[in-house]
Amino acid sequence: MYSTSYGFGQPRAAQTTIPCRTCGTALRVERTCHEVFLRCTTCRTTHDVGEYVAQMDEALESFMENVYCDRT
Ligand SMILES: [Zn+2]
């Protein structure tokens, strides 16, 4: 079986309160199966989560907890 969805009740994107360093827009966190990144919809850029880890908010933290498809 191969599904195009990545599981049940696990969103692939979430809105955070973390401001973009360039423009101040709240970043969105998005993921692929094994990668998580922050996207600024204003700058149209993506940022490594590591760059913003010091500013991690609740939305990002809970998102990260559900990120990985396979924890083994
Ligand atoms: Zn920006």
Spacing, Cα 55 to ligand 1 middle (Å) = 15
Q: What is the pLDDT of residues 15-71, one digit of tens each?
A: 999 999 999 999 999 988 788 999 999 999 999 999 999 999 999 999 988 766 655
36 contacts 50 by C-beta, under 8 angstroms: no
Residue 3 pLDDT greater than 70, yes or no: no
**CA dist 51 to 11, 23, 72, Å?**
22, 15, 26
Q: What is the mean pLDDT of residues 6-15?
A: 74
Cα of 63 from ligand 1 centre, angstroms: 20
Q: pLDDT of 44-55, one tens digit each? A: 999 999 999 999
Sequence ranges of the domains in the chain: 13-65
Query: 1 pLDDT band (50/70/90 cuts)?
Result: very low
CA of 70 to the centre of ligand 1 (A): 31
Residues, beta carbon < 5 Å, ion ligand 1: 20, 22-23, 25, 40, 42-43
